[in-house]
């Protein structure tokens, strides 16, 4: 397999004197992999290891009337039945560690289960076979409750309420039950359009299916601590979550991990770690909690299902004047990371295209399905699929070549994006040209001559007057006071040129931690040289000196913004004074001791 | 908890109640996932179960013969493509003929070919039973099959097609075996068997009759395909719905009859 | 639960362990014999991460009853290298970027070894067939297939 570099593109923006990129390099962990010596979490043999397994709900939504554990408790080799009230702080939401969202999920759920496979009880036993037999011997008396499995049915008035922390079945993005994006006025865009193209797209949940299933081994350690070997993708996230659920100071947890047998996002949910540590706390023995393949598929959180409705207003020559989205992320029964998908998805709209009027409502919806979580670009993959399918549909409706349509509408450097940031380092045009070439797809000479650096204009760089609405405040939809999930016509106007609130980057803690632009491969030309090399580049942002904090060019004052900035942004003020001298060590860095007659790698030789 | 009993004589093993372990590809899965459902595992080391022997009635294949052994045996070249369609190399070194006869939906591709070939099974008590009767009583019968006897057929007389979502190594959406005595569609007496189209492999008798009575050309094939769903009872599973299976069965039967693999 | 003794040859070394009735060979090798190179991925013969060689032929450890290994010769990835010298398959996997998370690698190597022993000059399709029972979620298989073909060439050189 070879990698092809297109070094002729953007050559002046890049430093090609790199030592590693484009050259073969061995992975640092590869020798362990091919010799079988790499130690995954399950490759730690502990004496007296016990095995934990869960009793799980066979229903999508049910209440536990009673649980009979007597037969299991009598079984030889069953060491402990773990109940929901054995969990010291049995309520959490993953993103509470960064203060986002309400606690909504129990580690062991009682008395209500909200998805099929939700655990209500665990058994710790001498062998996995006994733990399985123990689980099979537990008798649960279930009262089956009505369930909802479809996002749009879930937000309709009268739908069964899935998650008591969010009784309306939508995550609350204060004050709304959805993420709103408004840019320009889609209604006027539709009115000016020659074609309206509408369609709906769906993506099913996708299981990450790592070959190593989720799991952890925990054991009592010295100094009143518990050690936990885990396959988590997020070691400190799992540690913090475990500390919270088990009400332990994190200093009592010694987490060992980082070697993951495939994760793809499915190993951030931090469920097996608190379970294993809880088992070790309750039995005083090493405990392994490992999902089998059925659990990985049934209760392992997948990439959530998505549904997208797109409505485009297009001129007869293929310019997209307005694009409206209604998006639904199916979170399943609990939030996990789906609330973040709503933000991520919105940040990705309207795709890599300059569209003067954009409106979107994106919902994170609770249903009685397996909770969804991270997976490789979650929040953007489904909507990208929808957008690119829709581009083909638009091309067909207008009667224009689909690649030509993309080149026509693609972001050019300097264009204003729907979330009020200036587009930079755009390369869709060039990508289209290369792809067309590879596929033997003929493009017109105009399309072949197009360039991401050329084509922006004062109009394309401007923030338009924007129509705003207040539809869909949390709770209104369930009460029947919201008419549609789609964006509604605006009731008030935001003046043209209004930027969003400036977000100030957190300053780096130590100046020498500042990433220097030249070290990561961006060539930052001197101001004079820049204009000489790229005269055609319309919207070249003011070149940023390498040592200043990186600022989005959108925040820098630039002449092509149609309306004046309402106030000087934090970015402008921050950019001026901060110019510390670049970090320079007193002596050049060298590893080990460097003296004649002394081994470089013998510590202590310095003192001799 | 599970007890394991090992016997060197098949007849002795057959007298002990329990789950008979063949290659383990299905039973060990149950041992791993639901050990509480198994009390006794019966292991049989009888060399008779490993034999492949040709005699006047046909070729006797021991129940413990693996798919890999079928592929490598010169007398079984007709069945080799069928065995090769099952699982992957490691699995074929383990999976046995006996296990395949008892494999639940959607497994048991070899059994489909055995049904089309009109093979018969030999029980440990010496009783012989034709394939169709065997499958009809499979879920109720207690006992141990020690051999299956396959009539001698020429290559070209058996056509086999396995439809799966992935290749190589996919599980059957359906499998189809057609025995053509004349080696081509111009002959009579064809037998058609479907796998994964019911609880056990099933003969498509309506299609066979249509082929028997129809013209020996494309129209005859079309007539047979159009009625091939009669008598089949596919079910929904993760691979395909019953509806889908019914819809595509005629297409795949036509391709199988026309010799596409 | 009564433990039963079994003995076998593991990577050329006589080995004796005690197993539970009904225990599978994968668990017995890992937990009792201490050979952690075969991995648990599914316990149902789907993923191939536990592929080992029994008397030279690839088998699935998770679907083999441990007691059935009595007297057999078992090979795993731990025994693939010749002392400090890595096997050409291991070299080819390293240099060909044929592993990312590494969890399927042991099983892939065993499946590949079994192929190259019986078929030293495989075609690409034969390689694909040989590893068809081994799932990999990271690489997309292409680097693995390339590495096995590469190893076949390296082995040829070694013999000649």
User: Between C105, C137, C138, which is nearest A34 by CB?
Assistant: C105
> Which of A301, A317, A345 is at the close of a domain?
A301
Task: Please name every residue paired with B42 in a beta bridge, in sequence order, or none if there are none.
Answer: B5, B20
pLDDT at B127: 95
d(C-alpha C84, C-alpha B41), whole Å: 42
Structural domain of residue A189, as residue ranges?
151-206+302-490
Q: Parallel, antiparallel, or unpaired for β A492-494 and A119-125?
A: unpaired
d(C-alpha A132, C-alpha A79), whole Å: 13
Q: Indicate whether A243 belongs to any domain.
A: yes
B166 in reach of chain A (CB within 8 A): no
d(C-alpha B148, C-alpha B113), whole Å: 12
Is A132 within 8 Å of B1 when comparing Cβ atoms?
no
C64 in reach of chain B (CB within 8 A): yes
Mean pLDDT of B113-132: 96
pLDDT at B210: 93
Is B87 within 8 Å of C57 when comparing Cβ atoms?
no
Q: Indicate whether A588 belongs to any domain.
A: no
> Which of A490, A524, A555 is at the close of a domain?
A490
Q: Are residues A129 and A278 in the same domain?
A: yes
User: Between A24, A30, A45, which is nearest C31 by CB?
Assistant: A45
Those residues of chain A that have pLDDT short of 70 are 1-2, 509-510, 512-608
Q: Are residues A297 and A274 in the same domain?
A: yes
For the CA atoms of A253, A259, A264, A266, what is the dihedral angle to 10 degrees? -30
pLDDT at A566: 43
d(C-alpha A22, C-alpha B22), whole Å: 52
Measured CA angle at B58 (ends B55, B61), to 5 deg: 90
Report chain B residues whose CB lies below 8 A from the CB of A130: 1
Query: In 3D, which of A220, A209, A213 has the Cα closest to residue A290?
Result: A213
pLDDT at A521: 60
Q: Are residues A79 and A137 in the same domain?
A: yes
> Which of A301, A321, A339 is at the close of a domain?
A301
Q: Indicate whether A548 belongs to any domain.
A: no
Q: Are residues A333 and A453 in the same domain?
A: yes
C11 in reach of chain A (CB within 8 A): no
- DSSP class of residue A159 equals P
Distance from CA of A46 to the nearest CA of C (A): 9
In angstroms, what CA-CA distances link A506 with A510, B31, C114?
Answer: 12, 55, 56
B window 82-141, beta carbon within 8 A of A: none
pLDDT at A526: 59
**Mean pLDDT of all residues in chain B?**
94
Which DSSP string corresponds to C99-153? -SS-TTHHHHHHHHHHHHHH-SS--HHHHHHHTTT---SSS-SHHHHHHHHHHHH
Write the ipTM: 0.97
Task: Please name every residue paired with C14 in a beta bridge, in sequence order, or none if there are none.
Answer: C9
For chain B, first and last CA: distance in Å?
A: 45
Is the Cβ–Cβ distance between C22 and B38 less than 8 Å? yes
Mean pLDDT of B151-163: 93
Q: Indicate whether A131 belongs to any domain.
A: yes
C window 117-156, beta carbon within 8 A of B: 128-134
Q: Are residues A55 and A173 in the same domain?
A: no
Q: CB under 8 Å to A87, separation ≥6 — which residues? A: A106, A107, A108, A245, A246, A274, A278
pLDDT at B19: 96
Q: Are residues A356 and A466 in the same domain?
A: yes
Residue of chain B nearest C133, judged by CA positions: B88
pLDDT at C159: 52
- DSSP class of residue A422 equals B
Is the Cβ–Cβ distance between C129 and B168 less than 8 Å? yes
Q: What are phi and psi of A387, to 5 degrees?
A: -65, -45
Q: Are residues A336 and A294 in the same domain?
A: no
pLDDT at A514: 67
Between residues B168 and A159, which one has the greater pLDDT?
A159
Q: CB under 8 Å to C88, separation ≥6 — which residues? A: C151, C154, C155, C158
pLDDT at A522: 61
Q: Are residues A134 and A171 in the same domain?
A: no
d(C-alpha B21, C-alpha B43), whole Å: 5
Q: Indicate whether A478 belongs to any domain.
A: yes
pLDDT at A11: 85
Q: Are residues A296 and A311 in the same domain?
A: no
Q: CB under 8 Å to A223, separation ≥6 — which residues? A: none
Is the Cβ–Cβ distance between A369 and A151 less than 8 Å? no
Q: State pTM to two decimals.
A: 0.88
Report chain C residues whose CB lies below 8 A from the CB of B3: 21
d(C-alpha A182, C-alpha C116), whole Å: 61
d(C-alpha A10, C-alpha A522), whole Å: 11
Please identify which residue in the block is written with the tokens 């007496």: B189
Is the Cβ–Cβ distance between C77 and C67 less than 8 Å? no
d(C-alpha C87, C-alpha C84), whole Å: 10
Does C88-154 match C3-79 at the fold level? no
Is the Cβ–Cβ distance between A189 and A467 less than 8 Å? no
Is B34 within 8 Å of A132 when comparing Cβ atoms?
yes
> Which residue, among C2, C21, C145, would best test binding to B if mutated, counting the most B CBs under 10 Å from its CB?
C21
Mean pLDDT of C130-140: 97
Buried b (16+ CB within 10 A) or exposed e, C26-62: bbbbbbbbebbbbbbbbbbbbbbbbbbbbeebbbbbb
Q: Neighbouring chains of C at 3+ CB pairs within 8 Å?
A: A, B
Q: Indicate whether A572 belongs to any domain.
A: no
Q: Are residues A199 and A288 in the same domain?
A: no
Please identify which residue in the block is written with the tokens 């009731």: A491
Q: Indicate whether A422 belongs to any domain.
A: yes
Number of domains forming the structure of chain A: 2
Is the Cβ–Cβ distance between A373 and A267 less than 8 Å? no
Is the Cβ–Cβ distance between A112 and A144 less than 8 Å? no
User: Between C90, C136, C137, which is nearest A264 by CB?
Assistant: C137
Q: Which fold has domain C88-154?
A: DNA polymerase; domain 1 (1.10.150)
The residue extents of the domains of chain C are 3-79, 88-154
C42 in reach of chain A (CB within 8 A): yes
Write down the CATH number for the domain with range C3-79: 3.10.20.30
Q: What are phi and psi of A63, to 5 degrees?
A: -110, 140
C86 in reach of chain A (CB within 8 A): yes
Q: Indicate whether A416 belongs to any domain.
A: yes
pLDDT at A525: 58
pLDDT digits (tens, 9 = 90+) for A423-479: 999 999 999 999 999 999 999 999 999 999 999 999 999 999 999 999 999 999 999
CATH of the domain at A450: 3.30.365.10
For chain A, the residues whose C-beta falls within 8 A of a C-beta of chain C are: 1, 24, 26-27, 29-40, 42-43, 45, 77, 127, 129, 208-213, 260-264, 290, 292-293
Q: Neighbouring chains of B at 3+ CB pairs within 8 Å?
A: A, C
CATH of the domain at A227: 3.90.1170.50
CB atoms closer than 10 angstroms to residue A516: 13
pLDDT at C160 over 60: no
Q: What are phi and psi of B177, to 5 degrees?
A: -125, 135
Q: Are residues A310 and A287 in the same domain?
A: no
Is the Cβ–Cβ distance between A206 and A332 less than 8 Å? no
Q: Are residues A228 and A185 in the same domain?
A: no
- Cis before B168? omega within 30: yes
């Amino acid at each position: 397999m070879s990698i092809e570099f297109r070094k002729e593109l953007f050559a002046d923006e890049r430093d090609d004197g790199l030592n590693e990129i484009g050259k073969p390099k061995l992975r640092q962990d590869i020798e362990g992999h091919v010799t079988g010596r790499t130690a995954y979490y399950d490759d730690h043999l502990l004496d007296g290891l016990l095995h934990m397994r869960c009793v799980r709900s066979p229903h999508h939504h049910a209440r536990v009337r009673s649980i009979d554990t007597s037969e299991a408790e009598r079984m030889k080799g069953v060491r402990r039945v773990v109940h929901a009230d054995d969990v010291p702080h049995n309520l959490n939401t993953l993103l509470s560690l960064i203060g986002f969202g309400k606690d909504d999920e129990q580690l062991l759920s009682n008395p209500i289960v909200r998805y099929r496979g939700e655990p209500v009880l665990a058994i710790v036993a001498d062998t996995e076979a006994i733990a399985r037999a123990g689980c099979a011997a537990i008798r649960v008396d279930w009262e089956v409750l009505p369930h909802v499995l479809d996002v749009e049915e879930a937000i309709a008035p009268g739908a069964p309420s899935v998650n008591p922390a969010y009784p309306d079945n939508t995550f609350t993005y204060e004050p709304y039950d959805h993420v709103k994006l408004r840019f320009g006025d889609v209604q006027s865009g539709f009115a000016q359009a020659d074609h309206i193209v509408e369609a709906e797209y769906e993506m099913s949940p996708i299981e990450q299916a790592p070959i190593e299933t989720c799991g952890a081994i925990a054991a009592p350690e010295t100094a009143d601590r518990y050690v936990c070997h885990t396959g988590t993708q997020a070691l400190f996230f799992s540690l913090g979550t475990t500390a919270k659920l088990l009400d332990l100071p994190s200093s009592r947890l010694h987490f060992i991990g980082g070697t993951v047998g495939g994760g793809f996002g499915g190993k951030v949910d931090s469920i097996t770690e608190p379970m294993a540590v809880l088992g070790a706390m309750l039995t005083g023995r090493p405990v392994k909690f490992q999902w089998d393949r059925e659990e990985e598929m049934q209760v392992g959180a997948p990439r959530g299902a998505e549904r997208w409705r797109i409505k485009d207003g297009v001129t007869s020559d293929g310019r997209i004047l307005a694009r409206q989205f209604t998006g639904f992320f199916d979170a399943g029964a609990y939030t996990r990371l789906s609330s973040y998908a709503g933000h991520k998805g919105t940040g990705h709209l309207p795709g890599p295209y300059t569209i003067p009027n954009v409106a979107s409502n994106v919902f994170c919806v609770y249903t009685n399905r397996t909770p969804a979580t991270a997976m490789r670009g979650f929040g953007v993959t489904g909507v990208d699929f929808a957008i690119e399918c829709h581009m083909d549909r638009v091309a067909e409706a207008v009667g224009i070549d689909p690649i030509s349509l993309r080149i026509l509408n693609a972001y050019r450097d300097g264009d204003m994006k729907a979330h009020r940031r200036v587009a930079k380092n755009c390369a869709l045009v060039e990508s289209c040209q290369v792809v067309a070439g590879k596929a033997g797809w003929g493009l017109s000479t105009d399309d072949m001559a197009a360039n991401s650096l050329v084509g922006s204009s004062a109009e394309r760089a401007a923030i338009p007057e924007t129509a705003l609405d207040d539809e869909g405040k949390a709770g209104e939809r369930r009460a029947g006071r919201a008419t549609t999930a789609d964006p509604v016509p605006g009731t008030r106007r935001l003046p043209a040129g209004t930027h969003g609130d400036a977000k100030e980057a957190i300053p780096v803690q130590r100046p020498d931690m500042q990433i220097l632009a030249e070290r990561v491969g961006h060539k930052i030309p001197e101001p004079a040289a820049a204009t000489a090399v790229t005269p055609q580049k319309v919207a070249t942002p003011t070149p940023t000196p390498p040592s200043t904090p990186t600022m989005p060019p959108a925040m820098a004052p630039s002449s092509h913004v149609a309306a004046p900035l309402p106030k000087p942004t934090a970015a402008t003020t921050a950019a001026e004074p901060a110019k510390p001298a670049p970090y320079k060590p007193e002596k050049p860095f060298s590893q080990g001791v460097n003296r004649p007659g002394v081994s470089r790698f013998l510590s202590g030789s310095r003192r001799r | 908890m599970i007890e394991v009993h090992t016997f060197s004589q098949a007849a002795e093993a057959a007298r002990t109640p329990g789950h008979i372990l063949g290659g383990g590809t299905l039973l060990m899965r149950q041992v791993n996932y639901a050990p509480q459902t198994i009390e006794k595992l019966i292991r049989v080391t009888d060399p008779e179960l490993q034999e492949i022997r040709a005699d006047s009635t046909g070729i006797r294949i021991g129940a413990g013969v693996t798919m890999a052994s079928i592929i490598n045996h010169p007398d079984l070249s007709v069945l080799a493509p069928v065995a090769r369609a099952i699982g992957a190399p490691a699995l074929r070194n383990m999976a046995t003929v006996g296990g395949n006869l008892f494999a639940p939906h959607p497994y048991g591709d070899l059994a489909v070919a055995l049904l089309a070939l009109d093979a018969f099974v030999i029980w440990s008590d010496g009783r012989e039973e034709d394939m169709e009767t065997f499958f009809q009583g499979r879920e109720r019968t207690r006992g141990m099959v020690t051999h299956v006897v396959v009539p001698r057929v020429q290559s070209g007389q058996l056509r086999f097609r396995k439809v799966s979502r992935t290749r190589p190594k996919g599980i059957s959406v359906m499998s189809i075996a057609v025995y053509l005595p004349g080696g081509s569609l111009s002959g009579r007496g064809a037998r058609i068997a479907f796998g994964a189209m019911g609880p056990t492999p099933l003969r498509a008798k309506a299609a066979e009759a249509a082929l028997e009575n129809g013209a020996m050309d494309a129209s005859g094939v079309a007539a047979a395909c159009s009625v091939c769903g009669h008598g089949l009872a596919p079910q929904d599973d993760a691979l395909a719905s019953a509806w889908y299976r019914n819809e595509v069965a005629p297409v795949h039967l036509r391709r199988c009859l026309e010799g596409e693999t | 639960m009564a433990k039963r003794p079994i003995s076998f040859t593991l990577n050329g070394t006589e080995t004796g362990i005690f197993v539970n009735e009904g225990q599978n060979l994968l668990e017995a090798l890992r937990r009792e014999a201490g050979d952690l190179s075969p991995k648990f991925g599914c316990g149902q013969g789907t993923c191939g991460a536990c592929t080992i060689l029994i008397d030279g032929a690839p088998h699935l450890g998770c679907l083999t009853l441990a007691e059935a290994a009595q007297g057999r010769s078992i090979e795993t990835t731990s025994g693939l290298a010749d002392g400090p010298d890595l096997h050409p398959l291991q070299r080819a996997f390293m240099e060909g970027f044929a592993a990312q998370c590494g969890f399927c690698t042991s099983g892939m190597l065993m499946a590949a070894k079994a192929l190259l022993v019986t078929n030293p000059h495989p075609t690409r399709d034969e390689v694909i067939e040989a590893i068809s029972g081994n799932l990999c979620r990271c690489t997309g298989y292409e680097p693995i297939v390339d590495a096995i073909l590469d190893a076949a060439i390296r082995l040829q050189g070694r013999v000649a």
